Amino acid sequence: MTLLFLALHVLSATIWVGGMFFAHVALRPASLQLELEQRVDLWFATFSRFFPWVWAIVILLPVSGYGLLHSAFGNPHPMPTHIHIMQWLGWTMISLFVFLFATHFRKMTTMLKKRLIPEAALYLNRIRIIVSINLALGLLTILVASTGRYW
């Protein structure tokens, strides 16, 4: 089970953080060449394909993480510091994603259905800010996770 949990955990983290990195450093600057309406449509189509993966990941990451803690470490008390930090960074990232989906992405969807483009762009910008924060937290979490055993 340990290998399965570790594989699911590391692949989930890679897909989520890698996807945010690509969106932030490559797709966003490239999309600025488009007119506002095309840009908002492009981002809506992008999120509609990426967010179902993120929903699966926000379930898989904690399930595999606590599975690992149980199978590889035997639920230690106290928890190793790096796992403790990873856990709380992870729950912060998950909460931010659920928040952005339930508020800004839903509002962006509603505005786009009515073709209210500037309003939809406002929510797109809010999503961008939260994704930047989550990207920074995700990179930090990976550093903590992979260097923690050497502290």
Q: Which stretch binds ligand HEM (CB under 6 A): 18-26, 35-43, 85-93, 100-108?
A: 85-93
- Select from 31, 46, 87, 109 the one that contacts ligand HEM (CB under 6 A): 87
2 by DSSP, 3-state: which? Answer: helix
| Span from 5-13, 45-53, 99-107, 114-122 in contact with ligand HEM (CB under 6 A) | 5-13
Identity of residue 127:
I
3-state secondary structure of 34: coil
Which residues inside 92-111 make contact with ligand HEM, applying CB under 6 A?
A: 93
Specify the DSSP element, H or E, that contains 104: none
Q: How far apart are CB 95 and ligand HEM at their closest, in Å?
A: 11
**CA 91 to each of CA 10, 111, 135: distance values in angstroms, whole numbers, following the listed order:** 16, 29, 14
Residue keyed to tokens 């993480």: 65
Residues 14-73, interacting with ligand HEM (CB under 6 A) = 17, 61-62, 65-66, 68-69
Q: In the complex, what is the shortest distance from the CB of residue 70 to ligand HEM, in angstroms, rounded to a whole number?
A: 9
**CA dist., res. 131 & res. 28, Å (int):** 12
DSSP state of 24: I
For ligand HEM, the binding residues (CB under 6 A) are 9-10, 13, 17, 61-62, 65-66, 68-69, 83, 86-87, 90-91, 93, 138, 141-142, 145-146, 148-149
